[in-house]
Amino acid sequence: MDIFGESFFRAIGLLGFGLYVTNYGLLSSRLLSSESKWFFVNNTIAASLVLASNYIEFNLASVMIQVFWIFIGTIAILHRRNSNHNLSRF
Protein backbone atom coordinates (compact mmCIF):
# COMPACT_ATOMS: atom_id res chain seq x y z
CA MET A 1 0.00 0.00 0.00
CA ASP A 2 1.41 3.36 -1.06
CA ILE A 3 0.75 5.82 1.79
CA PHE A 4 1.97 8.74 -0.31
CA GLY A 5 -0.51 8.21 -3.10
CA GLU A 6 -3.02 10.55 -4.67
CA SER A 7 -5.42 10.39 -1.71
CA PHE A 8 -2.67 11.41 0.70
CA PHE A 9 -1.80 14.56 -1.28
CA ARG A 10 -5.45 15.47 -1.74
CA ALA A 11 -5.97 15.14 2.03
CA ILE A 12 -2.90 17.33 2.65
CA GLY A 13 -4.34 19.99 0.33
CA LEU A 14 -7.71 19.86 2.08
CA LEU A 15 -5.98 20.17 5.44
CA GLY A 16 -4.19 23.28 4.13
CA PHE A 17 -7.49 24.69 2.92
CA GLY A 18 -9.03 24.02 6.32
CA LEU A 19 -6.17 25.80 8.05
CA TYR A 20 -6.53 28.82 5.73
CA VAL A 21 -10.26 29.03 6.44
CA THR A 22 -9.78 28.57 10.19
CA ASN A 23 -7.05 31.23 10.25
CA TYR A 24 -9.21 33.78 8.45
CA GLY A 25 -12.23 32.88 10.58
CA LEU A 26 -10.19 33.55 13.72
CA LEU A 27 -8.93 36.79 12.18
CA SER A 28 -12.43 37.91 11.19
CA SER A 29 -13.82 37.17 14.64
CA ARG A 30 -10.88 39.02 16.21
CA LEU A 31 -9.71 35.95 18.10
CA LEU A 32 -6.40 36.26 16.23
CA SER A 33 -4.61 39.45 15.26
CA SER A 34 -2.99 40.03 11.87
CA GLU A 35 -0.05 41.38 13.89
CA SER A 36 0.35 38.02 15.62
CA LYS A 37 3.18 35.69 14.74
CA TRP A 38 0.63 32.84 14.85
CA PHE A 39 -1.39 34.36 12.01
CA PHE A 40 1.67 34.06 9.76
CA VAL A 41 2.69 30.66 11.13
CA ASN A 42 -0.78 29.29 10.32
CA ASN A 43 -0.75 30.87 6.86
CA THR A 44 2.72 29.53 6.10
CA ILE A 45 1.76 26.01 7.18
CA ALA A 46 -1.46 26.19 5.15
CA ALA A 47 0.44 27.39 2.07
CA SER A 48 2.99 24.59 2.49
CA LEU A 49 0.24 21.98 2.67
CA VAL A 50 -1.56 23.32 -0.39
CA LEU A 51 1.78 23.52 -2.23
CA ALA A 52 2.45 19.84 -1.41
CA SER A 53 -0.94 18.92 -2.89
CA ASN A 54 0.25 20.29 -6.23
CA TYR A 55 2.51 17.25 -6.48
CA ILE A 56 -0.32 15.15 -7.90
CA GLU A 57 -2.12 17.79 -9.93
CA PHE A 58 0.26 20.60 -10.87
CA ASN A 59 -1.20 24.09 -11.22
CA LEU A 60 1.37 26.82 -11.89
CA ALA A 61 -0.81 29.66 -10.59
CA SER A 62 -1.47 27.78 -7.34
CA VAL A 63 2.24 27.00 -6.91
CA MET A 64 3.15 30.67 -7.46
CA ILE A 65 0.55 31.87 -4.94
CA GLN A 66 1.63 29.34 -2.30
CA VAL A 67 5.34 30.14 -2.78
CA PHE A 68 4.51 33.84 -2.40
CA TRP A 69 2.61 33.19 0.87
CA ILE A 70 5.41 31.00 2.21
CA PHE A 71 7.98 33.70 1.37
CA ILE A 72 5.95 36.55 2.89
CA GLY A 73 4.96 34.46 5.93
CA THR A 74 8.55 33.46 6.63
CA ILE A 75 9.73 37.07 6.44
CA ALA A 76 6.88 38.19 8.75
CA ILE A 77 7.64 35.43 11.27
CA LEU A 78 11.35 36.30 11.32
CA HIS A 79 10.57 40.00 11.59
CA ARG A 80 8.28 39.44 14.55
CA ARG A 81 10.78 37.17 16.24
CA ASN A 82 13.67 39.62 15.77
CA SER A 83 11.92 42.94 16.39
CA ASN A 84 9.71 42.09 19.36
CA HIS A 85 6.57 43.12 17.43
CA ASN A 86 7.87 46.62 16.64
CA LEU A 87 6.25 47.23 13.25
CA SER A 88 6.77 50.99 13.13
CA ARG A 89 9.35 50.56 10.37
CA PHE A 90 6.63 49.43 7.98
Q: Is residue 18 part of a domain?
A: yes
Q: Is residue 90 part of a domain?
A: no
Reply yes or no on whether the pLDDT at 6 is more than 60: yes
> In the predicted model, what is the mean pLDDT of residues 17-36?
95
Q: What is the pLDDT of residue 3?
A: 74
Q: Is residue 88 part of a domain?
A: no
Full domain range(s) for residue 22: 6-83
Total number of domains constituting the chain: 1
Q: Is residue 17 part of a domain?
A: yes
Q: How far apart are the first and last CA of the chain?
A: 51
pLDDT in tens, 44-61: 999 999 999 999 989 999
Q: Is residue 73 part of a domain?
A: yes
- Beta-carbon-side half-sphere exposure of residue 1 (alpha carbons within 13 Å): 3
Q: What is the pLDDT of residue 81?
A: 86
Q: What is the pTM of this model?
A: 0.84
Q: Is residue 67 part of a domain?
A: yes
Reply yes or no on whether the pLDDT at 18 is more than 90: yes
